Amino acid sequence: MQLALAIGHNSVGHIAKAELCKYDKHFNLEQLYKISKVLDVTLHQIIPL
């Protein structure tokens, strides 16, 4: 729930669906940036190139 709130959602449903790539849900770049800050990792660690 804390992660959902940190990236601007009020429920964990979107997070869970995006993690599983269900129902055409995904994270946008801003959300990925916020997630990286919450988890104290770089974007490169989240999105390996």
Position 11 scores a pLDDT of 80
Q: DSSP for 1-49, please give it.
A: -HHHHHTT-SSSHHHHHHHHT-TT----HHHHHHHHHHHT--HHHHS--
Position 37 scores a pLDDT of 92
Q: What's the length of the chain? A: 49
Position 6 scores a pLDDT of 86
- Torsion of Cα atoms, 33 then 8 then 16 then 21, to 10°: -60
Condensed to tens digits (0 to 9), the pLDDT of residues 1-49 reads: 888 888 888 888 888 888 887 888 788 889 889 989 999 999 999 887 7
Position 13 scores a pLDDT of 85
Domain limits for position 40: 2-46
Asked whether the beta carbons of 35 and 3 are under 8 A apart, the reply is yes
Position 26 scores a pLDDT of 80
Position 20 scores a pLDDT of 83
Q: How many domains does the chain have?
A: 1
